[in-house]
Structure 1
Amino acid sequence: MKSPGCASRHFRCHIIFSLCLGLIFLSGFFHVKNKNYLIVKSHKELLMSSTPCRAKTNVMFLKTHKTASSTVLNIMFRFAERYNLTVALPAGQLVHLGYPKTFLAHFVEGFQTIGQHYNIMCNHLRFNLSEVQKVMAVNTFYFSILRNPIPLLESSYVYYKDNVPAFRISKDVNEYLTSPTKYYRSADYKQNIYARNIMWFDFGYDNNAEDNKEYTQEVLKEIEQNFHLILIADYFDESMILLKHALCWDLDDVIYFKLNSRSQDTVQTLTPESEERIKEWCSLDWKLYLHFNQSFWRRIEETIGLEELEKEVNHLRMRQKELMETCLSDQEAVMKDHIKNKALLPFQSGAANILGYNLKQALDNRTLRTCQKMVMPELQYTSHLYAVQHPHRRRKRLGLPVLQTKLQGKMQLPTPNSGT
């Protein structure tokens, strides 16, 4: 028979043992619950990170001058054809959307009947948001591209040498920049828009406006509000990767062959003094470029990261190289006199020798269509899309005899007679 003391100790031990079991059970319960919670949370995060974004198909590209924008336009046109989208094309025989006039909705072919149901807008225009919004959907993605004003002005000088009074009466670009006001007359500003702050003008602002801090800051802020993305032509491949991410497009959607580029022998070398004078003479463009060059790299760091960007740029270049080997007989752009199919001859302007491409022979039909569209100059492509979208309208006649080329069966492509 156990003593009362032993029984009492046994009872206390039992209570303590039971409490320990309870604590272990509760601890296990909360641990399992917390573990399950973490699994659920982790699963949700995984779903959020892996959920594919939806490709944007309502896109407005403000095509600025001498900024590799013809290459971007070709990308936009090919995307529109690939997904059967409607492009806001210049009305009638126009090749631009009213440029250099400020854009109005009726400059678009079919606006009166189609209304706000265009998917893509990318031909040259002088930006006017309220009128663009009459044409494009509410959820349209707006973007544009800028270039360092120093090489841009040199490029403009050579390309528009015969058309711009300020350029025409000066010997070369360095002479022009020695004293721009000697050649640039305010009374001829409509003819001289390419000679000063051309990007500022394309965005819809006065390219001869006084450069003061309050005004420029107001304009930069307004552009930031109107545009979702500004690319930089000096970093074109990086720009294409950023565009791909912003629009949720595939890599092949932004693959390109460089278009409307000129031969190196037509490039005029700027003196260091001329480069500094461009910063002053085109100070509005200079501030525009500096501002959005900073925001461009900040956007990359926030959305892609430099390490991932480098990987994707390398992938883009590898894919581009593959396509050049597939499509091109010369593996590179050639001088205008060496372009065999004159229907694919780019428009030639000023003192520039605009390069083009020769395609390989005996390509299968599908490959041929892909390759031809990648090398098709801007005016020919605009004319082609116009004929496809508006078959009952008189085809755009660009001035020279129509030549035959094989595209989507047999398609007539006119060679151009007006600049871009």
Structure 2
Amino acid sequence: MPSLYMLYLKGRRHKTFWGVSIFVMVTILMYQQLHTNACERSQSVIRDWNIISVGDGEESQYNNFSLISDSFLASRRQFMKEEVRHVAFLKVHKTGSSTVTSIIQRFGWERRLNLILPNSSPNLISQNESITDTNILHINKEETFDMICNHVIYNRETFQKYLPEDTVYIGIVRDPFDQFVSSLYYYKYRWSVPYLARLPTTYSIKHLLENPNQYEPKVLQESFTKSRMSVDFGLPRELFYTTDRNTILPYLRKLRSEFKLVMIKEYFDESLVLLRRILNWNIRDILYIRKNTSKYVPMKSFRDRYLHKQHSFLDYCLYNFFVRIFWRQVRQQGEDFHAEVSYFRQMRHAVEDFCVDVEKNSAKRTKVFEAKENEFHSNIIVNSDYCELLALDEVEFSNRLKWRQFPHLRPFGNRKRINRKGWQ
């Protein structure tokens, strides 16, 4: 700085240049100082995360951590309100819902809750109708269902028939065009759905959107690519054939009154933190490893997006409506919300690294990941058993839940595992 000032004094012909240079440098130095302070402030919320080796005598204690004790629940209730255990999650196709389903399943598994489970499919109650007496497995009359998170068409009346009155309803949506592209590729190449299998392998998106009548099924519920999110939310059939927002809006407002939260795929971690706060869960309960994702490079264009808005107008209305609601809910959370989201992301990556390390090295199965209580959660412990639960996909988890709730359905080859720790 002094040298620049001396050059300025010697070169008065260029005083404008030197004045601007000095101003820019002072601005940069001030920004760096502010940025450093901001980083220090953001890091202050991070507490120590420890990976601990436990001895043989202590190992069983940690391995049984998934069986939540009364004393642990009591201490956590001092930290937050009573956790919500009656949850209906609407699993919407290709919106990141498989990851959320695994979170719900894990929560129910640890607390031995009764989930509504499919009768004939591992993870699918129905693609084209709501809950019925024939498409689910029934529990004893003296028991009640607590949760649902498998694919089924939403209908408030039928959901209320099987779930308690205090059930909290959660949904999820995704950018309609991205959801459409994901569905097309997933169901064309993974499941070879007939009407999608007929599409050319090149420019599949273009061919479908330019010739929808040639490919799309006549029955709405049989399509995975025409306003599928609206189908899953159970919107009336007549809304799929109108672009009159005044006709559509009352039904969206009805959904708003019924759903406590509709998550947004593009803001997944923010959605989970909001979910945690609404349900009064622990951050440990919303940890996840992404499920059912695929890598592909779709051939798409700006015109495809334009055509898709005409093709699935109702999905755009649904998505835009709930995005506005979502950010309104976020603004109501207070200043610490985004700090918690940042903290959650760091913890999730740390736990994932820990679990990967444990999986690769069996000698490390006696180690546990511990996060001390702080302003966001009570004390958290993750061990190898919990890592196993995090890694399960929804089909494997659905089978575990089904075999525990209905032991007589367990395949003969798996009956020898009935006494395995955590299964009973």
TM-score by length of 2: 0.70
Report the CA distance between 1:300 and its aligned residue.
Answer: 0.6
Give the distance between the partners of 1:127 and 1:109, measured in 2 at CA: 18
Which residue of the partner structure matches residue 390 of structure 2? 374
Three-state SS of the structure 2 residue aligned to 1:71 is: helix
Three-state SS of the structure 1 residue aligned to 2:336 is: helix
Give the distance between the partners of 1:222 and 1:81, measured in 2 at CA: 32
Report the CA distance between 1:110 and its aligned residue.
Answer: 1.4
Which residue of the partner structure matches residue 126 of structure 2? 98
Which residue of the partner structure matches residue 314 of structure 1? 342
Report the CA distance between 1:111 and its aligned residue.
Answer: 4.8
Q: Which moved more, 1:141-150 or 1:77-86?
A: 77-86
Report the CA distance between 1:222 and its aligned residue.
Answer: 1.6
Report the CA distance between 1:226 and its aligned residue.
Answer: 1.7
Three-state SS of the structure 1 residue aligned to 2:170 is: strand
Give the distance between the partners of 1:405 and 1:153, measured in 2 at CA: 41
Per-residue deviation, residues 309-341 of structure 1 (Å, max 9, x unmatched): 2211111111112211211149xxxxxxxxxxx
Map 1:294-333 → 2, pairs under 5 A = 294-302=324-332, 304-305=333-334, 307-329=335-357
Give the distance between the partners of 1:269 and 1:185, measured in 2 at CA: 20
Report the CA distance between 1:402 and its aligned residue.
Answer: 7.7
Three-state SS of the structure 2 residue aligned to 1:64 is: coil
Query: Which of 241, 257, 260 is equivalent to 1:225?
Result: 257
Report the CA distance between 1:53 and its aligned residue.
Answer: 1.9
The letter for the 1-side match of 2:196 is: F
Map 1:209-248 → 2, pairs under 5 A = 209-248=241-280
Is the CA contact 1:166–1:185 (under 8 Å) kept in the aligned structure 2? yes
When Rg is computed on C-alpha atoms for both structures, the one with the higher figure is 1
Map 1:218-367 → 2, pairs under 5 A = 218-263=250-295, 266-302=296-332, 304-305=333-334, 307-329=335-357, 360-362=361-363, 363-364=365-366, 367=383
Is the CA contact 2:154–2:233 (under 8 Å) kept in the aligned structure 1? yes
Give the distance between the partners of 1:312 and 1:96, measured in 2 at CA: 34
TM-score by length of 1: 0.71
Give the distance between the partners of 1:294 and 1:287, measured in 2 at CA: 11
The reply to whether residue 388 of structure 1 matches residue 404 of structure 2 is: yes
Q: Which moved more, 1:129-138 or 1:363-372?
A: 363-372
Is the CA contact 1:105–1:111 (under 8 Å) kept in the aligned structure 2? no
Report the CA distance between 1:95 and its aligned residue.
Answer: 3.1
Which residue of the partner structure matches residue 333 of structure 1? none
Change (3 A) 1:295 1:220: same
Give the distance between the partners of 1:248 and 1:309, measured in 2 at CA: 14
Change (3 A) 1:406 1:168: same
Three-state SS of the structure 2 residue aligned to 1:194 is: coil
Three-state SS of the structure 2 residue aligned to 1:328 is: helix
Report the CA distance between 1:103 and its aligned residue.
Answer: 2.4
Change (3 A) 1:247 1:396: farther
Structure 1 unmatched ranges of 5 or more: 1-49, 331-357, 412-420
Query: Which of 141, 147, 151 is equivalent to 2:168?
Result: 141
Map 1:405-416 → 2, pairs under 5 A = 408-409=420-421
Alpha-carbon RMSD = 2.9
Query: Which of 99, 111, 127 is equivalent to 1:83?
Result: 111
Which residue of the partner structure matches residue 348 of structure 1? none
Is the CA contact 1:98–1:107 (under 8 Å) kept in the aligned structure 2? yes
Is the CA contact 2:127–2:221 (under 8 Å) kept in the aligned structure 1? no
The reply to whether residue 167 of structure 1 matches residue 196 of structure 2 is: yes
Structure 2 unmatched ranges of 5 or more: 1-77, 368-381
Change (3 A) 1:93 1:69: closer
Query: Which of 184, 193, 199 is equivalent to 2:215?
Result: 184
Which residue of the partner structure matches residue 198 of structure 1? 228
Report the CA distance between 1:282 and its aligned residue.
Answer: 1.0
Give the distance between the partners of 2:145 and 2:179, measured in 1 at CA: 31
Change (3 A) 1:78 1:184: same
Name the % identity: 25
Query: Which of 127, 146, 152 is equivalent to 1:125?
Result: 152
Give the distance between the partners of 1:407 and 1:297, measured in 2 at CA: 47
Q: Using CA pairs below 8 Å that are at least 6 residues apart, which structure has the higher relative contact order?
A: 2
Give the distance between the partners of 1:65 and 1:396, measured in 2 at CA: 29
